[in-house]
Amino acid sequence: MKLDKILSENNKYLIQNYQRFPIEMVKGDGSYVWDSKGKKYLDFISGIAVNNLGHNNKKVNKAILSQVSKMLHISNLFVIKEQVNYAKELCKNKAGYKAFFCNSGTEANEAAFKLARRWGLLNGEKSKIVSFSGAFHGRTFGSLSATSPKKYRYGFYPLTPGFKSVPFNDVDKLEALVKKDKKIAAIIVEPIQGEAGVKFSSKNFLKKVESICRIYNILFIVDEVQVGIGRTGKTFCHEHYNISPDVITLAKALGGGLPCGAMLVNPKFSDFLTPGSHGTTMGGNPLSMAAGIASFKQISKRTFLESVEKKGNFFLRKLQKIENNSMIKEVRGLGLILAIEFNSDAVARKFCSYCLKKGLLVILTEKYNVRILPPLNVKIKEIDEAMKIFLDALEQIYD
């Protein structure tokens, strides 16, 4: 089918809830993808932090093909060996933690909120959940109620009751709230707010949130849906901050490219979801598990994570060289989640359009931030290739 026809049928048959590029991507290999007209792109979006090993990873493909010939789905009525294996891998350095598998990030957070309420019921009848300004935790009703920007919430009121929001990185406001309101069951935080434009929590902030949770007996949930699974140069992003969350939520890269989400739970809380209290039909299906394990085993190797850190530092140093450009406000990054913050929306848009024209995929996020998410096995020469396009773009769009 010709691209024009696909585009018109896309509009005719699909609900128009996405603003899609009018491009059909048909093939990927490593850090590159090709569209239906044969144009090659350097993919520094990675399926929005999903394809952490790039496209067409041999070990992931092999694991998928081997699982396909055995079984795709059986349901959680039965024991699933692949789930056990993956949980064991994920919790290897987290003694006693247990996993629950689902299909997406929003579902992982819903599970965490339900756990918080079950636990809270028996612990002072607490049910409220606190999140932060700028936060993005998903689009189902519970997660949406913890997601702060109005643009995601508009038209969907009333949201789930019992959710409160506090300014990001504001410990005083958080402490004032939990002192006053004794019904807070959980606090959920992203270590780095990806959708908000790669906004970092300060090191002290997460440590203080943790200590508030300990003092006031509140469940500490860290949402690593975007920044987990090696993205920042550690298996889990919270490892940078010397904290120990009670619940870690994961998705995106967790399934090695297939749909998969999870929450990992500290042993103190892991028995509160009893049989029948929560579940999913497809979550943790053998196929997603097989792909996820094959991907996670490669990513979680110490040498691999060290290479992510090195390449991230290399990329950030290169970006810092353009930071004094008058159109740029700031550049930021940790591992291979990076951002260029521009001074205006128009400039950020022109920058992204130029990159796209030159065959480089990056995402425009909140407040003029261009988010850069290369595959974690990106090559140094590919980072150089992207930097060259960035430099050209800055020259071309300067006015």
Which residues are at the interface with ligand PLP (CB under 6 A)?
104-106, 109, 136-138, 190, 194-195, 223, 225-226, 251
- What minimum distance in Å lies between the beta carbon of 108 and ligand PLP? 7
| The residue to which tokens 């997460």 are assigned | 206
3-state SS record for 259-328: CCEEEEECCCCCCCCCCCCCCCCCCCCHHHHHHHHHHHHHHCCHHHHHHHHHHHHHHHHHHHCCCCCCCE
Per annotation, catalytic residue among 113, 163, 199, 223 = 223
Between residues 128 and 371, which has the closer beta carbon with respect to ligand PLP?
Answer: 371
d(CA 121, CA 116): 8
Between residues 341 and 382, which has the closer beta carbon with respect to ligand PLP?
Answer: 341
d(CA 399, CA 387): 20
- What minimum distance in Å lies between the beta carbon of 263 and ligand PLP? 12
d(CA 162, CA 184): 9
Between residues 369 and 394, which has the closer beta carbon with respect to ligand PLP?
Answer: 369
Among 44, 134, 18, 155, smallest CA distance to 366 is for 134
Active site residue 4: no
- What minimum distance in Å lies between the beta carbon of 37 and ligand PLP? 29
Active site residue 141: no
Which residue type occupies 187?
I
- What minimum distance in Å lies between the beta carbon of 384 and ligand PLP? 28
Cβ-closest position to ligand PLP: 105
Active site residue 200: no
Do the bridges between strand 337-342 and strand 328-334 make them parallel or antiparallel, or are there none, so unpaired?
antiparallel
Do the bridges between strand 128-132 and strand 163-166 make them parallel or antiparallel, or are there none, so unpaired?
parallel
Per annotation, catalytic residue among 44, 100, 113, 136 = 136
Between residues 138 and 375, which has the closer beta carbon with respect to ligand PLP?
Answer: 138
- What minimum distance in Å lies between the beta carbon of 13 and ligand PLP? 22
Between residues 249 and 383, which has the closer beta carbon with respect to ligand PLP?
Answer: 249
Report CA dihedral (74, 260, 239, 300) to the nearest 10 degrees. 70
Per annotation, catalytic residue among 126, 128, 234, 252 = 252
d(CA 231, CA 337): 7
- Which residues are annotated as catalytic? 136, 223, 252
